Homo-oligomer: A and B are copies of this chain.
Amino acid sequence: MLTAQQLSLNTATVRSQWNLRQAIEGCARHGFGGISPWRDKLEELGAETAARLIRDAGLSVSGLCRGGWYTIASPLDQKAIDDNKKAIDDAATIGAGCLVMVVGGMVPGSKDIAGAREIVEEGLTRSLEYARTCGVKIAIEPLHPMYAADRACVNTMRQALDICDRLGPGIGVAVDVYHVWWDPEVEEQIDRAGPERLMAFHICDWLVPTTDLLLDRGMMGDGVIDIPKLRSRVEVNGFKGLNEVEIFSANNWWKRDADEVMRTIVDRAVDC
């Protein structure tokens, strides 16, 4: 059972309805404990203004979405490095608990997923060096394998933690139930991660049927994911952060009144 104070709103959940200022006000109005902005929303407002508004609203920042996308070219491109530096700066400015990394899929035109993974690891290494100097934590978000080609070629907790093992302190994982719920070893990998590397916990649900690979995520309770089981596992392992609600839903939740969405989240959180 979760209360609103234990929730964070990922702004993607109300992407069509609210700008960041409205989302901040909405979180305060519905008693949420925090917020997690996407960078496009952050840029509209400016990081410093956003930081002030968030602080004034009494919200914490569970994460900034997103850095990564290292695989725009091969070899690793300076533009990708620079863009991630900017994201790290912004994460520092708004006091984000972590910068969430969607690492990028395969290089356009390539069939070399192993090569893409090498680029990603090099990119993360570079970003981590800089993030450490800024006091920003880097959270790799393993994305569901259906996004391996075009969004993120890090697709399991095991793979993400193998990278973390190699890169050392300051880098961990963002555990999104949507991406990892199916994994037969998700629980043992959460145990392996431990408190320092469990940096974010995202919730939503997997609908049956799922009608779109990207934009048909479900509200908690409408699908098949055993959220309480996964939540208790990260908490047993020392995760003390907020439960960040991130729902991409072009044909349902994005079409509803945002306050209705927020109320529904709070209602459903009771059973999470």
- Chain A: residues with CB nearer than 8 A to chain B? 105-106, 110-113, 117, 144-146, 148-150, 153, 155-156, 158-159, 181-184, 206, 208-211, 213, 223-226
Contacts and interface: CB of A to CB of B under 8 A. Distances in A.
A159 B155 CA distance: 16
A182 B113 contact: yes
A2 B211 CA distance: 35
Instruction: Decide if the interface of chain A is mainly helix, strand, loop or mixed.
Output: loop
Nearest 5 A-B pairs (CB), nearest first? A148-B182, A145-B182, A111-B226, A146-B146, A159-B184
Given A113-B226, A155-B184, A224-B111, A209 B150 contact: yes
Counting every copy of the chain, the complex holds 2
A147 to B, nearest CB: 9
A127 to B, nearest CB: 20
A149 B113 contact: no
Contacts of A117: 184
B184 A156 contact: yes
A145 B113 contact: no
A176 to B, nearest CB: 13
Given A224-B106, A224-B111, A183 B145 contact: yes
A182 B179 CA distance: 14
Contacts of A183: 145, 155
Nearest to A205: B111
A183 B184 CA distance: 14
28 contacts: A106-B224, A111-B224, A111-B225, A111-B226, A112-B226, A113-B181, A113-B182, A113-B224, A117-B184, A144-B145, A145-B146, A145-B183, A146-B146, A146-B210, A148-B181, A148-B182, A149-B182, A149-B206, A149-B208, A149-B223, A149-B224, A150-B209, A155-B183, A156-B184, A158-B184, A209-B213, A211-B213, A213-B213
